Amino acid sequence: MASGRDPYEGFSFRELFDWKRRLARETPFLESTLARAPERSVADLGCGNGEHARLFASLGFRTVGVDRSPAMLEQARDHEDPPRLTFVEGDLLTLADSLVGRFGAAVCLGNTLPHVETEADLEIAFRNVASFLVPGGIFLAQLLNYERILSQGIRSMPVTIVPSSDGWTVLLRLLQPEEGGIIRFCPTVLRWTPDREPAVEVLESRSLEHRAWGAPEIAGALAAAGFSEPLFFGDMTGGPYEPASSVDLVVVARAGGAR
C-alpha cells in the first residue's frame, strides 16, 4: 500500500455497483462450478465488500472472506454476518497468517490477482491457495482480459453513474499501460451536480500499479503450484474465452492434479 495508506479507503463499491444484477448473472456459473468441490467450504480471496462471500454462505458453504484492505473489510462487516461466514484480514502471499483449516474451494474474483506484481509472487500465491485446498479442491479466479485491453489500446472501463442525495456519483476507472507488464489503474469517484458550479467534484482518486496477467502466465503459475491444466472462460457466465474480445479472463483449476 502506497505510503502506508489503504488504497481503497473512501471507495464504497457496494453503492457504486448493481450487485443484485451482477450476482443474478454470475450465480449459475459460480454454483455449478462450486458444486464440483469435494466439500462445501469456500475461501473468498480478495473478498472486497463481501457480496460474493455472502452469496456463498447463503448457498450453504462455510465461507471465509479474506482481504488485505481494512476499508473493504469494514464494509464487508457492516452487515450482520449470516451463519457460516467470517471475514479476516490477509494477503495472497501470506495466507498462513490468516486462514485456518482447509477448504473445498477457493475463489479470487474482482480483479484481485493483478495486485500480485511478479511471476515469482504469482506462483507463491497459487501455492498458498493450493495448500489450503483439500485434494481435488476447486480454484476459480477472475480478472480483466488484459490481452484485449493492451492490444486494443483501451484506456478506460465503462463509466458507472448512480443517483446520490444531491445529484449523481460517478465512478471512472482509467487505465495507463506502462513498461514491464504494468497497468496504472486510476479509480476516481466524482460528485456530479449538473445544476451547480462547479458541476463536477473529485471525491476520491488513486493511482495504483496492477500487473496485466495473461492466460499463458496464469496457466504456467498454476501448473508450477500443482494445479491441473486450467479451463479458461471469457466471462462469469461460462462463455468461451476469446483473447481479442472477451472482457474477462476466468480460470477454473483443480488442486492436486485431479480433474
Reply yes or no on whether the pLDDT at 15 is more than 80. no
Q: What is the pTM of this model?
A: 0.92
Based on the domain organization, do 127 and 167 belong to the same domain?
no
Give me the residues paired with residue 17 across strands.
none
- Output the average pLDDT for the chain: 92
141 with 206, same domain: the answer is: no
Q: Alpha-carbon distance 192 to 171, whole Å? A: 10
pLDDT digit string (tens) for 117-127? 999 999 999 99
Q: What CATH number did the domain enclosing 247 receive?
A: 3.40.50.150
Strands 160-164 and 167-178: antiparallel
Residue 175 sits in the same domain as residue 227:
no
pLDDT of 257 over the 60 cut: no
* Rounded Cα distance, 48 and 110, in Å: 8
Same-domain status, 104 and 141:
yes
Tell me the pLDDT band of 80, cut-offs 50, 70 and 90.
Answer: low
The grid coordinates of residue 221 equal: 503459475
* pLDDT for res 62: 96
114 and 162 in one domain?
A: no
Residues 205 and 217 in one domain: no
**Which of the four pLDDT bands, split at 50, 70 and 90, describes residue 13?**
low
Would you say residue 259 has pLDDT above 50? no
Quote the pLDDT of residue 4: 56
Helix 51-58 with 19-34: angle, nearest 10 deg: 50
Residue 109's pLDDT is what? 96
What was the pLDDT predicted at 258? 41
Q: Which range has the worst mean pLDDT, 10-19, 82-91, 101-110?
A: 10-19
Domain of 91?
Answer: 2-145+213-257
Cα(58)–Cα(242) distance, integer angstroms: 32
pLDDT tens, residue by residue, 131-183: 999 999 999 999 999 999 999 999 999 999 999 888 999 999 999 999 999 99
